[in-house]
C-alpha cells in the first residue's frame, strides 16, 4: 500500500516551459488536492477534485490546470512556467466520508 | 472566511522540556474540523489528529496532547518530555463542513529540540 505518490520528486524548468506533475493514490479515495508550499505561507490550495472527471479551483489556481481522468490519478499542469511558480507541490487525498487528508512526499519545482 | 493563526514562528526548547504550540482559528460555520500535521526535515506531511467542533474533549496520545477550547477558538498542541525526533514544523489546519472542501493551514511553527 503506497498511499499517495508523486512524480517527479524534483524538477528544474526554464521560464516558459511546460510540465505535468502526477499524483497517484491507491487508497480508493474520492477527493484529491494539489497544494503549493512557500516559505512563511503554509500550504495553499491550487485545485481539487471531488471525483473522477470533476475539478474545481482552489485559492491560487492561476497558471495551473488539472485533470482527473481516473479516480486514482490527479494531474497538475503548468503550461508556461514562471519563476513565481517555484515552490514545493503537495498532492493529498481523502475519503468523502472523512475529513483528514493524506499527503504525498512533495515535488520540489524550480523555475529559472 | 476561515483563517488559522499560528503566532509562534519558531520555538526552541531543551530536550525533555514540555512545549505548547498555539493555534487560533476563525470560522463562521458551527460544524468544522481541526487538524494538526507534522512536517519533519524530510519534508513529508504527517497527519497527527483531527478534532470535530462538537467534541471538546481533550485528547492524549502518548507524549502528545491537544486542548480544544471553542470559547477561545483555540486548538493547542502540547508535547510532554520533548525529544529530538519531535523537531519539525507543525501545522494547524481547519476545514469547514459545508461549501468549502479545502483545508486552510496556518503558517506553521518550527520546533527545534536541543539535545
Q: What is d(CA B40, CA B38) in angstroms, rounded to the nearest whole number? A: 6
Q: Which residues of B touch A (CB under 8 A)?
A: 4, 33, 35, 37, 43-47, 50, 91, 95, 101-103, 105-108
pLDDT at B100: 54
Which residue from A42, A88, A106 is facing B107, i.e. has the nearest CB?
A42
Cell of B13: 526548547
Cell of A38: 512557500
Cell of A102: 493524506
Q: What would the 3-class secondary structure string for A26-87 be?
A: CCCCCEEEEEEECCCCCEEEEEEEEECCEEEECCCCCCCEEECCCCCEEEEEECCCCHHHCE
Cell of B21: 504550540
Q: What is d(CA A110, CA A10) in angstroms, rounded to the nearest whole number? A: 8
List chain B residues with CB under 8 Å of A105.
43-44
The burial of B92, by beta-carbon neighbours within 10 Å (0-12 exposed, 13-18 middle, 19 or more buried), is given as buried
Average pLDDT over residues A22-26: 97
User: Cβ–Cβ of B44/A48 closer than 8 Å?
Assistant: no
Q: For A33-86, write each residue's pLDDT tens digit.
A: 999 999 888 899 999 999 999 999 998 999 999 999 999 999 999 999 999 999
pLDDT at B87: 97
Q: Are strands B109-114 and B10-14 parallel, antiparallel or unpaired?
A: parallel
Amino acid at each position: 500500500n503506497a498511499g499517495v505518490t508523486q512524480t517527479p520528486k524534483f524538477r528544474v524548468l526554464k521560464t516558459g516551459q511546460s510540465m505535468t506533475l502526477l499524483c497517484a493514490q491507491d487508497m480508493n479515495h474520492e477527493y484529491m488536492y494539489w497544494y503549493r508550499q512557500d516559505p512563511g505561507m503554509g500550504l495553499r490550495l491550487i485545485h481539487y477534485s471531488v471525483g473522477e472527471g470533476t475539478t474545481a479551483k482552489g485559492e491560487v489556481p492561476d497558471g495551473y490546470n488539472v485533470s482527473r481522468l481516473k479516480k486514482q490519478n490527479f494531474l497538475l499542469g503548468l503550461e508556461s512556467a514562471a519563476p513565481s511558480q517555484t515552490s514545493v507541490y503537495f498532492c493529498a487525498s481523502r475519503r468523502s466520508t472523512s475529513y483528514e487528508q493524506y499527503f504525498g512526499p512533495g515535488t520540489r519545482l524550480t523555475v529559472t | 472566511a476561515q483563517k488559522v493563526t499560528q503566532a509562534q514562528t519558531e520555538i526552541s526548547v531543551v530536550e525533555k522540556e514540555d512545549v505548547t504550540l498555539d493555534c487560533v482559528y476563525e470560522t463562521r460555520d458551527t460544524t468544522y474540523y481541526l487538524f494538526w500535521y507534522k512536517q519533519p526535515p524530510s519534508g513529508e506531511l504527517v497527519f497527527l489528529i483531527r478534532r470535530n467542533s462538537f467534541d471538546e474533549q481533550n485528547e492524549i496520545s502518548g507524549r502528545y496532547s491537544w486542548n480544544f477550547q471553542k470559547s477561545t477558538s483555540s486548538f493547542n498542541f502540547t508535547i510532554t518530555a520533548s525529544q529530538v525526533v519531535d523537531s519539525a514544523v507543525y501545522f494547524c489546519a481547519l476545514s469547514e463542513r459545508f461549501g468549502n472542501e479545502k483545508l486552510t493551514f496556518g503558517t506553521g511553527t518550527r520546533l527545534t529540540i536541543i539535545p
